[in-house]
Amino acid sequence: MRRDLFDEEHLLFQETVREFMAREVVPHHERWEKDGIVPREVWKKAGEIGMFGFGVPEEYGGAGITDFRYNTVILEEIIRHGATGLGFSLHNDVMAPYVVELTDEEQKRRWLPGFVSGELITAIAMTEPGAGSDLQGVRATAVREGDHYVLNGQKTFITNGINADLVIVVAKTDPEAGARGVTLLAVERGMEGFGRGRNLDKIGMKAQDTAELFFDNVRVPVANRLGPAEGEGFFQLMRNLPQERLSIAVGAVAAAETVLEQTIAYCKSRQAFGRSIGSFQNTRFVLAELVTETDIARQYVDRCILALNAGELTAVDAAKAKWWTTELQTKVIDRCLQLHGGYGYMLEYPVAKAWVDSRVQTIYGGTTEIMKEIIGRSFGF
Ligand SMILES: Cc1cc2nc3c(=O)[nH]c(=O)nc-3n(C[C@H](O)[C@H](O)[C@H](O)COP(=O)(O)OP(=O)(O)OC[C@H]3O[C@@H](n4cnc5c(N)ncnc54)[C@H](O)[C@@H]3O)c2cc1C
């Protein structure tokens, strides 16, 4: 089905991103997977061709264009090139609304130029060893002392956790006040008491740094709080999570499409019993089902992108997109791996890497079960 999401400018930008991926990323990604991290220079190079912070106003170095279709172009190219180590989508799709929309003038001047140039890498630290799905169970505390908050606690599974220069930390400023007692604080590289733990050893996305973070009496200036008042953090998170979930859904559909293309090509060339494996009815039926579901998912996700641009994407619709497309992605990739036979189990085949890389998609950004809770609650039972 013809895709009409993009205009000419998006397609031109897509060419630029493709060239960047072929030149600066693909030849090195395997090494980054062994290193467990992407070098910071790649971020700067991406910044030079305008890959970060489209929505940042021009006065702070951005393009001043709020259009999630540009984010979509970048993320799709990352996925199509198997470059799952790049934490760009966390920076662009998840963090941008925090640093662009929830910051005051002084914070914008401090952070946005680096955000756009790729010199200031960002992360968000919600999850703790004892609190993931249940955000209200966060135990990190921030106690006000004059012009500072004293931050204590531990976070885990933080994407860009090693590379990040600025981490938005979710902390309790009033542990008795429930949702109204949560505040977001920007912790910067070099602040005393801010430590990084292990770069965690994951089953997939090997080149992406996912880390533990520690906060031991970190004195965070009140000037680093997001929002004009304490206690707004939970609502700020709720406001931005739909965009994060849509971003994950965009990646899910792109990954399913990519693996399907690769698998169709494989099934044409692989022979068994004197004929191509694509000539077996089972192969054709499996692929027919997967392609149909992926095409339908594409339509829904593209519609969500336009809804987000129009300011109309609801938390419930984003939850639908997130759980359904990520479950589809893992199913598509698993069935495609099966069609590759033993070669599908070898990491030199893209389908094998896609299989391990994709497994987390139904977990982070809110699990499938939590997405269904969000949708189910909307019925008002
Ligand atoms: C690679 C990776 C990157 C990540 N990046 C970040 C990041 O950058 N920042 C960040 O803050 N976090 C990040 N996370 C954390 C991620 O968001 C959490 O792992 C996720 O929200 C689930 O939390 P949990 O791991 O504590 O699981 P739990 O909350 O302990 O859930 C365990 C199981 O119980 C189920 N469950 C929990 N509550 C319910 C319920 N009410 N009803 C039904 N089932 C339920 C879950 O669905 C799940 O199946 C990342 C995680 C990974 C693996």
pLDDT score, position 148? 98
Our answer on whether the CB atom of 6 is closer than 6 Å to any ligand 1 atom is: no
pLDDT score, position 263? 98
Report the alpha-carbon distance of residue 343 to residue 358 in Å, rounded: 18
pLDDT score, position 1? 84
User: Relative to the CA of 155, which ligand 1 atom is closest?
Assistant: 11
Q: Measuring from atom 25 of ligand 1, which residue has the nearest CA?
A: 132
pLDDT tens digits in sequence order for the chain, 381 residues long: 899 999 999 999 999 999 999 999 999 999 999 999 999 999 999 999 999 999 999 999 999 999 999 999 999 999 999 999 999 999 999 999 999 999 999 999 999 999 999 999 999 999 999 999 999 999 999 999 999 999 999 999 999 999 999 999 999 999 999 999 999 999 999 999 999 999 999 999 999 999 999 999 999 999 999 999 999 999 999 999 999 999 999 999 999 999 999 999 999 999 999 999 999 999 999 999 999 999 999 999 999 999 999 999 999 999 999 999 999 999 999 999 999 999 999 999 999 999 999 999 999 999 999 999 999 999 998
Our answer on whether the CB atom of 94 is closer than 6 Å to any ligand 1 atom is: no
The burial of 52, by beta-carbon neighbours within 10 Å (0-12 exposed, 13-18 middle, 19 or more buried), is given as buried
Catalytic residue among 76, 212, 244, 257: 244
Q: Measuring from atom 12 of ligand 1, which residue has the nearest CA?
A: 127
Residue 212 is among the residues annotated as catalytic for this protein:
no
Report the alpha-carbon distance of residue 284 to residue 267 in Å, rounded: 9
User: Relative to the CA of 134, which ligand 1 atom is closest?
Assistant: 29
> Cα(135) to centroid of ligand 1, in Å?
10
Please, which residues bridge with residue 168 across strands? Answer: 124, 186
pLDDT score, position 95? 97
Our answer on whether the CB atom of 204 is closer than 6 Å to any ligand 1 atom is: no
User: Relative to the CA of 366, which ligand 1 atom is closest?
Assistant: 21
Our answer on whether the CB atom of 207 is closer than 6 Å to any ligand 1 atom is: no
- Helices 68-80 and 281-309 pack at an angle, to 10 degrees, of 150
Our answer on whether the CB atom of 126 is closer than 6 Å to any ligand 1 atom is: yes
187 sits in which H/E element: strand 182-188
How many other CB atoms are there within 10 angstroms of residue 204's CB atom?
A: 17
